Amino acid sequence: MIEIIIGALVAIVVALYVYFELPLKRIKRLTSGIPGPKGLPIVGILFDVRKEKAGTFGFLWNNTQKYGPIFKIPSVGRLAINMTNPEDIEVLLKNNEILDKPYSTTKFFKPWLGNGLVFSAGPYWKQQRKLITPTFHFNILEKFFEVFNEQGDILIKLLKEKADGKTNIDIFPYMQSFALDVICETAMGTKIHAQTSARSAYVLAVQDMERIIVERFISVIQQIDFLFPFTENGQTQRKALQILKESTDKLIRKRRDDLIKESENKSDENQDDSFGTKKRLAFLDLMLQARNMDGTPLTNEQISDEVSTFTFAGHDTTSTQLAFLFYLLSKNPHIQEEIYKEQCDILMGEKRDPTFQEVQEMHYLERTIKEAQRLLPSVPLFSRQVTKDLQLKTSNYQIRITIQR
């Protein structure tokens, strides 16, 4: 019996080595001149990151101090090159041939977000980018200003209940619920009442998916595609995806039917001579009216991918950035006071919601938000799959290979 168990363990180790380590042998040899932590076979620096008290970003910061602005990071089945010098990063971002995200990163998002704008590539990405850009026209965003005010008033009411000057609270859950309410109403045209009601199945599914994606990045077993479905997170993801897909598909079918009925009734109430519509159109409505390059309507799957992508990306980055902003404001009460004075001057002491035009006059608030984004960005790093030669500016390195599988 012991021999069978030992044999099975050896077979598993060999399989992991073949799956994760062998494809990297040539890459590791060609990058041997780049400094960085050695890590262990198969798992790379995974255990080092877990031991780091300051977490992943603490690990990256410490290694930047140790190795400099460029160093390699061997991880589970891949090897990344970390760069922090702005001039080197500029070389990467200006290269129009290096646009794809690494599969090792995108595969965790694909089951949920599909081929949406964030993770699509090539001609399809260009088509979707061209289709989606007009939906962020200033006039369209302005029509949703009342949504921002309405959800903001709810947030203020909830925070006032906790603002006794003594209680420390975790601000992030409040920001997450607020951002979810805003993005779901603007992207999907539906209210989910994340701030005021018990967690709905949709909200819980979103939170489950976000947690699982993060946990898969730091788990060897969960990064193996054929093993992941048998894990607890694999089972949870399957249920969460079913809820998310069914909810989005149901909404798409309903809105598509509504638009067909409106067209049959020859309703022209939505027409506007300047831009967009008098009726407030959600992102979903605009996607339903969009066309592919060949003139065909977007499929339900295409629309679902884009709506899901913007629901995730819109609320996740926004809630994180807002939480960082409030944290920095809590540490700098004099900045709070300046923002308050600006609000009082613009609103002339009236207790009411600001207009869209008045918000444009809040320059000190705008500068504060931008400084918070600079100090604590919601997306502090990004990755690219290098498939072309890349000569860096500030070092002698020339990256000539695919550095992430």
Residue-wise pLDDT tens for the chain (405 aa)? 777 778 777 777 777 776 677 767 777 777 878 899 988 877 788 888 877 777 778 888 899 999 998 998 888 778 888 988 888 888 888 888 887 888 777 888 999 999 888 888 778 888 888 888 877 777 777 888 999 999 999 999 999 988 887 888 899 999 999 999 999 888 888 888 999 987 788 889 998 999 999 888 877 788 888 889 999 999 999 999 999 999 999 888 888 888 778 777 755 554 444 334 446 677 888 888 888 888 888 898 999 999 999 888 888 899 999 999 999 999 999 999 999 999 999 998 888 899 999 999 999 999 999 999 999 998 888 888 887 777 777 766 666 544 444
Q: Which CATH number fits domain 122-331: 3.40.50.300, 1.10.630.10, 1.10.260.40, 1.10.10.10?
A: 1.10.630.10
Position 277 scores a pLDDT of: 41
Nearest of 69, 119, 40, 56 to residue 383 by alpha carbon: 119
Q: How much of the chain is helix, strand and coil, in % rounded to 5?
A: 60, 5, 35
- The CA-atom distances, in angstroms, between 373 and each of 36, 223, 315, 327, 380 are 29, 31, 16, 12, 10
User: Which part of the chain is CATH 1.10.630.10?
Assistant: 122-331
Q: Which long-range contacts (CB under 8 A, 24 or more apart) does 3-7 make?
A: none
E strand or H helix that includes residue 78: strand 78-83
Amino acid 396: pLDDT: 62
Contacts 24+ apart (CB under 8 A), 190-195: 190/251, 195/151, 195/154, 195/155, 195/158
Helix (H) or strand (E) segment spanning residue 74: strand 70-75
**Residues 178, 189: contact at Cβ < 8 Å?**
no
Which of 317, 272, 231 minimizes the C-alpha distance to 140? 272
Q: Which helix (H) or strand (E) holds 258?
A: helix 232-264
pLDDT of residue 266: 58
Structure tokens, 266: 């020859």
pLDDT attached to residue 274: 38
The pLDDT score that the predictor gives to residue 159 is: 92
Burial 124-142 (b: 16+ CB within 10 A, else e): ebebbeebbeebeeeebee
pLDDT of res. 268: 52
**For residue 151, is it left (φ>0), alpha (ψ between -120 and 50) or beta?**
alpha
Closest to 101 (Cα-Cα) out of 383, 405, 388: 383
Closest CA to 237 of 252, 250, 222: 222
